[in-house]
Amino acid sequence: MTTTKSSPSHEPLSILFADDEVSLQELMRIELPLLGYRVTVCPDGHTAVAALEREQFDCLIVDLDMPGMNGIQVIERALTLSPTTEAIVLTGKQSLESAISALRFGVVDYLSKPCRLSELHALLDRVAQRRTLKRRTASLERAERAKEPRTTQIVGTSQAMQVVAKLIAKVAPTQSTVLIRGETGCGKELVARSVHEQSLRKGQPFIAINCGALPEHLIESELFGHKKGAFTGADTQRQGLFEVANGGTIFLDEIGELPLAMQAKLLRVLESGDVRRVGDNETLRVDTRVVCATHRNLEKMVEEGQFREDLLFRINTFEIHVPPLRERLEDVMPLAKHMYLRHRPEHSQIETLFSEETVAALMQHPWPGNVRELANVIEHATILCEYPPILPDHLPRHFVDRRLRKEVRSGTAGPNASVPLVSMPLSLKELEALAVQEAVNRHNGNKPAAAEELGISLKTLYNKLNQADPANKKAA
């Protein structure tokens, strides 16, 4: 039989073919790839089930009448292992009874032997079209969900996060200024949003701004606005974020990065509620609640003259501390599940989303980038894993190489190892530094790229490296 190679417009289907006839096995092994499909051929039902346990397939083509394990039993198992796999039944003993049994188990079509290859090709093409339609629908649903307001749900069962939730519930209904403290990436903005959503200002604007991300000469204009002609480029009058957030909440993230001159102007706004646009002589009264956050030691900054003491007193009316992820490891898997289902809500009924090996890898990681790093890891795994469970191979590279970690802990790593040898168990700081150093090595010394992967700031990355090896300070 001669087949013209097909050039499908869609991504090739992955097909599992199971039949006990050797001649048909050879035919499908040769002809299906020529039609543009990827095929795995199995001689019996048990081999087919073993393949389903190892790999995800788009379509299962199975003979009903096989010795040992028949086609219906294979289909039943396939639906358990991979509910999205479509099944086509191929049999030489076509009967109404077997057809009804097959259709009851979700079979999309039924072919009798000998079937025409063109007929099978047409069926598979329809399977590919349905797969494309499902993916487009899922993509549109994700896009629609992205437009929805962010959830303010505090995920975590640890006692530390229960304390955070109780503090939010206490302070949210008040008008008090809140200072949220915690390491970079631990979820401070989520806490701020939760304060807003549980307050009487819910439904009003919530405006978030990172004080360390704006050029110093633009901060005042961003916060307070400017009058037309106030400076070069000010072609129109512009509202500041305090005005935009009027009636709602403004979240000043990384408040410790605010220049001293701006600290004085912010203090005036907090005390009077009056905002003056750049270049304007008139003031505007705003009713905007202020929630601040920082990963820095503001008290030490006050001692060093880098932060105003009166401003610290003003913003620290009520303090919430968000603990780092390494101090609440019991929250890792609930957070991981929540993050995965945020990307793949259609898998919410699946019991096992992560393999045991993956759970162990996630629980043993020091999480220097906190919740933000975990979110990056889960998104990476979600992209690679088409269907749960997520395996270690779906995780970023530094999670997969657990062998090197064990060698480092036991002091058995070879002379060419990229990390220092130790003979004692690693401390928490050393584990963090190891994870950071591995990220730097993976990026060939590119520290900004390593910081981005870990979800931490460049400054935090240098701090973690310096904690392990003070000599790094010279290199920084």
What pLDDT digit, counting tens, does each position of 129-143 carry? 888 887 777 667 656
2 located within any domain: no
Number of Cβ atoms within 10 Å of the Cβ of 264: 12
Structure tokens at 276: 């003056």
Among 90, 112, 146, residue at a domain's last position: 146
Q: What is the percentage of the chain residues whose pLDDT exceeds 90?
A: 37
What pLDDT digit, counting tens, does each position of 281-317 carry? 788 888 999 999 999 999 999 999 999 999 999 999 9
Tokens 């400017």, located at residue:
226
Same domain, 165 and 136: no
221 located within any domain: yes
Distance CA 86, CA 110 (A): 12
pLDDT for residue 54 is more than 60 = yes
Same domain, 69 and 166: no
Q: State the average pLDDT over residues 62-73.
A: 85
Better-scored residue on pLDDT, 332 or 458:
332
Same domain, 164 and 116: no
Same domain, 349 and 217: no
4 located within any domain: no
Amino acid letter for position 343: H
Same domain, 352 and 414: yes
Same domain, 57 and 77: yes
Q: What is the percentage of the chain residues whose pLDDT exceeds 70?
A: 80
Q: State the average pLDDT over residues 215-232.
A: 80
Q: So what's the pLDDT on residue 52?
A: 86
Q: State the average pLDDT over residues 6-34.
A: 81
Better-scored residue on pLDDT, 6 or 173:
173
Same domain, 276 and 167: yes
Distance CA 387, CA 373 (A): 22
Better-scored residue on pLDDT, 163 or 426:
163
Same domain, 311 and 459: no
230 located within any domain: yes
**CB neighbours of 168 closer than 8 A, spacing ≥ 6?**
154, 191, 194, 195, 198, 320
8 located within any domain: no
For residue 265, what are the domain limits? 159-323
Sign of CA dihedral 116, 119, 123, 125: positive
5 located within any domain: no
Distance CA 260, CA 154 (A): 33
Q: State the average pLDDT over residues 327-338.
A: 94
What pLDDT digit, counting tens, does each position of 356-377 carry? 989 998 998 889 889 999 999 9
Among 304, 323, 342, residue at a domain's last position: 323
Same domain, 318 and 335: no
Q: How many domains does the chain have?
A: 3
Query: Which range in 138-147, 211-220, 412-421 is most confidently predicted, on average pLDDT?
Result: 211-220
Same domain, 306 and 355: no
78 located within any domain: yes
Q: Residue 206: which CATH number?
A: 3.40.50.300
Among 323, 340, 357, residue at a domain's last position: 323
Same domain, 319 and 337: no
Q: Residue 118: which CATH number?
A: 3.40.50.2300
Same domain, 315 and 166: yes
6 located within any domain: no
